[in-house]
Amino acid sequence: MARGPLQQTGAGVLTRRQRERRGRRLLLVWTAVVALVSSGIGGLAGAYVEREGVGDVTLPQAGSVPAGRAPDSVAGIAARALPSVVTLHVSGADEAGTGTGFVLDARGHILTNNHVVQPASSGGEISVTFSGGDTAKARIVGRDSGYDLAVVQVSGVRGLTPLPLGDSDGVRVGDPVVAIGAPFDLANTVTSGIISATERPITAGGEKSDGSDVSYVDALQTDAPINPGNSGGPLLDSRARVIGINSAIRSAGTGSDSGSGQAGSIGLGFAIPVNQARRVAEELINKGHATHPVIGVTLDMGWTGDGARVDSRARDGGPAVAAGGPAARAGLKAGDVITEVDGERVHSGEELIVRIRAHEPGDRLRLTVERGGEREVSLVLGASEQN
C-alpha cells in the first residue's frame, strides 16, 4: 500500500536555503501567534473590566433641545393656554365632582359646563385651582341646562389672562385641535387630535324625569382624548384660540356621557361651538340667564317616523302651535312633519331642536314641511328664557 511522505520528528541537517526558508516560516508563524495571543488577552481584559466594573461607562446622549417651541405646535399652544385654564372642584349636599373651565376676562369670569357646577347650585361650594397651583373660591353667575353652559366668577385674583375666542363657523374637518382639562382630576392634562366632524347633533343629560336638564348641541366632534373631568375645558385651534367647550363623550359601554361617569375615551368627543357659547356666556354675565331660539310648537318626541312631528296638544293641554308664535304666523299646524331646516335634513324632534339652538333669536329659517305633500315655509325665530 502506498504511503504518503513521512514528516520527520527528529532534527536533521539543513542547507543554507532551507534554513532561510525555515526562518521566514517561523517568523510568519510567530507573527500569527502573537496576533492571536494579543487578541485573546484584549478580550480577556475587556471581559474582566466589564465583569469587575473597572472604569466608568458613559452612554451617548442627543444634543440639547431648544427651549422654544413653534407657536402652532402642541407644546406651543399648551404653553400659551395653560395659564388661562382652571380646574373646578365642586361640592353640594349629595354629590361632588371635578371639571374644567377657562378665563373669559380680567374680571374673573370663567366659562364651564352647567353639569360641572350643578351640584353647587343649591348652597354648595366651588373651588378654582389655577395651573400655577393658586386656588380661589368662586360663585355661580348664571347657568343654562339647555346649552349645558355656566359662568362662575372668582374675586381678588390678579393677573388673569383671558383665552381668546375663535370662530367655530370657520372650523373644517381635519383641522388640528388641542384639548386641555383635568381628566379623572389629573389637572393640566393636554391632548391633541383633529376635528373629525362638524354640526353633529347630540343630546346629553336627561337625568330629570321632566327632561328639563337635557342639553341640545350642534357639536364639533373630535378624536382628541377627552375623559370625565375634561368637561368645560377649551378645545383650541392651531393658534391657541377657543373653538369649542368640551362637554360630552361617546363611550363604548354607556353611550353618551356628560363627563360625570367613569367611562373612558374611545376617540368620540363633542364640544359646544364657541360661537354659540359666546352668546350664551354674554347673556349669563349680563342678565343671569340665557335666551333660547324657538319656533313656538310642541313636538311629539315619541314620533318614530322620519322628521320632527308637531304634537296634537301642548303638555299643559293647550294648542301645540302657540298662538301668535313664529310657527303660527308661518301657517304650521298640529300633525305637520318638519323634514328640513335650511335645506338640511332632520330625522327627529331632537335634531330639529339642535338645529334651532344653533341659531339666535331673530334669525330667519326656511323649513320644509310635509302635510299631504311637501312645501316650504319661512319664519323668524322667537325667544324663550330658561334658567
Given 231, 247, 251, 265, the catalytic residue: 231
Question: Is residue 19 pLDDT above 90, yes or no?
Answer: no
As a whole number of angstroms, the distance between CA 183 and CA 77 comes to 19
Report the b/e string of 284-319 with b at 16+ CB within 10 A. Answer: bbeeeebbbbbbbbbbbeeeeeebbbbbeeeeeeeb
Given 89, 115, 196, 311, the catalytic residue: 115
Which of 252-256, 361-365, 372-376 is predicted with the least confidence, judged by mean pLDDT?
A: 252-256
- Alpha-helical segments (H) within the chain: 16-52, 74-81, 114-117, 274-287, 326-330, 349-357
- Segment 249-272 shows an average pLDDT of 72
- Beta bridge mates, 377: 367
DSSP secondary structure, 273-304, as one string: EHHHHHHHHHHHHHHSSEEEEE-SB-B-TT--
Question: Is residue 268 pLDDT above 70, yes or no?
Answer: yes
Greater model confidence, 65 or 235? 235
Amino acid at 73: S
Question: Is residue 31 pLDDT above 50, yes or no?
Answer: no
Going 278 to 282 to 283 to 284, the CA torsion angle's sign is positive
In three-state secondary structure terms, 313 is strand
- Segment 132-146 shows an average pLDDT of 95
Is 247 labeled as catalytic in the residue annotation?
A: no
Report the alpha-carbon angle 245-128-83, nearest 5: 65
Strands 234-236 and 215-222: unpaired
Which of 40-49, 95-104, 309-318, 319-328 is predicted with the least confidence, judged by mean pLDDT?
A: 40-49
Is 148 labeled as catalytic in the residue annotation?
A: yes
Q: What is the 3-state secondary structure (H, E, C) of 81-117?
A: HHHHEEEEEEECCCCEEEEEEEECCCCCEEEECHHHH
- Segment 359-366 shows an average pLDDT of 95
- Segment 15-28 shows an average pLDDT of 48
What is the maximal distance between C-alpha atoms in the chain? 137
Question: Is residue 30 pLDDT above 50, yes or no?
Answer: no
Given 148, 213, 237, 257, the catalytic residue: 148
Q: Considering the entire predicted model, what is its pTM?
A: 0.80
Report the alpha-carbon angle 357-362-364, nearest 5: 80
- Segment 249-257 shows an average pLDDT of 66
From the list 146, 155, 153, 90, the residue with the least C-alpha distance to 118 is 90
Domains of the chain: 74-154 (2.40.10.10), 175-251+264-274 (2.40.10.10), 292-384 (2.30.42.10)
Is 185 labeled as catalytic in the residue annotation?
A: no
* Helix, strand, coil fractions of the chain, as percent rounded to 5: 25, 35, 45
- Read off the pLDDT band of 260 (50, 70, 90): very low
Greater model confidence, 323 or 5? 323
Residue 62 pLDDT: 77
Residue that the C-alpha cell 364639533 belongs to:
220
At 69-80, the pLDDT tens digits run 899 999 999 999
Question: Is residue 125 pLDDT above 70, yes or no?
Answer: yes
From the list 307, 295, 316, 366, the residue with the least C-alpha distance to 336 is 307
What's the mean pLDDT when you consider all of the chain?
85
- Alpha-helical segments (H) within 85-239: 114-117
Question: Is residue 213 pLDDT above 90, yes or no?
Answer: no
Question: Is residue 334 pLDDT above 80, yes or no?
Answer: yes
Report the alpha-carbon angle 205-386-123, nearest 5: 75
